[in-house]
Structure 1
């Protein structure tokens, strides 16, 4: 039986259509010929994740992303188709992870330790891993800071390589070398001085040692002197200096009051010093006494007379 060309073309077209359908579904994550179970996970953002992206366990592919639906809340429900040959514990986590620096994503199952396996149509716990770009961002900032410091360092190196700066460096080194030579000469002079004066230095040290020995030997005596000073200071502290000052002030006040009375002519002393009549009477009495003494010397018989027989002659 001869098959016509039309039949061959029709059969070939049908086979091509079936292969196209199977290939399209495979690319979308739908493997019609395989036994599959479906799981779901909810993510806040799914940038970089597309349908047919692989589902991995420790890097081994066990399924594909089959569908993605945006919810009114803004989250996205992602459907996974997993081969039924693989058992998934119910506490497993579907982690959205980055696969390269370009932002491509995949799903990696972190299998839990539960003895109960998840069933088809179950919703697994989800987790979003930081992208490689986000992870590299702190390193990028550090690299930028290092590059900035390197640029500053290179600028400094260029400055150092400047001929004028090199001349300044050479002059600085020469100055440092001259300073070191001066210090070396000074050290030699000091060594010579110490060598020549070692005898005097030894005597000075001996004197210091003698002084320290005397202080050590007279330590008890010095302690006794300090104790005496302490006792004297305690006695002075105990003396009632305030009362003495108060009594002195009172005495000065009484003396001032007495002087004021004398100046005012109050009392005997005040009258004696301030009364002119008493002065005049005393002056007159002195003058009369002086006259009496003169007359007594001139005429003693007028005032005194003696008689051998005890008789008395009247003038």
Structure 2
């Protein structure tokens, strides 16, 4: 192979590499497959340019080919952005091409938000365009209502202060000062009281500890008593008590019905009268034996007769000698 042929081949290779590198730096890949081209309309592109990236889910999939004004009369002033995609990802015509801020320092990129409902998007279709507000725009939008509310608050506060100044004349201010001084004195007294209480608690710490120990012992004793009661078959005792009370109730019921000796004594007036009379006669007999014992123990050598019973003397508790 001659030197001239070698030199020509090397020159062609260099030219091809130069063209490929130039297009690669522009974002074009000469060895990639067929590209799909789409169009998006915007009223404002917020600084989007041909160097901006075209991404899907954060992955670069294409580039911006052209940005121009729409030449259609009814769409004058509308910007037309032409993009080309290398990715073979299929999405529907309802997908959105959103311009977003690439960083805080500025710069805009274009993201395809794919949707999969509806017909598939093919090369040459128009996608719906949206513009995402940057950080400063979002902050400004959120601060505007806050600023308005803050202004209203400040106006209200100013009116309130003016009203307070009108109400608090010199006499009222002096009275308020005296009240504040009195409140300060009260707080000082409260602090002294709290200090005294703390000292009292510190001095009585041992007594409080002993009291708490005694309380714990009492609680333990109650717990033991409770355990003893639980173990003492209290249910059987209560049952026996109920049986005893039932028997007593039956006895009282029989007595009330006049059954038995006690029942007859309680309900039979005749028996009560007889017992009363017998008691009375027994009393008279004992009195007679005390007053005239000779009538009951009679010893006579001469046949002397015993004097008969004298009821009147017995009642008067007088002996009949």
TM-score range, shorter chain: 0.3 to 0.5
Q: How high is the TM-score relative to the length of structure 2? A: 0.43
Q: How high is the TM-score relative to the length of structure 1? A: 0.44
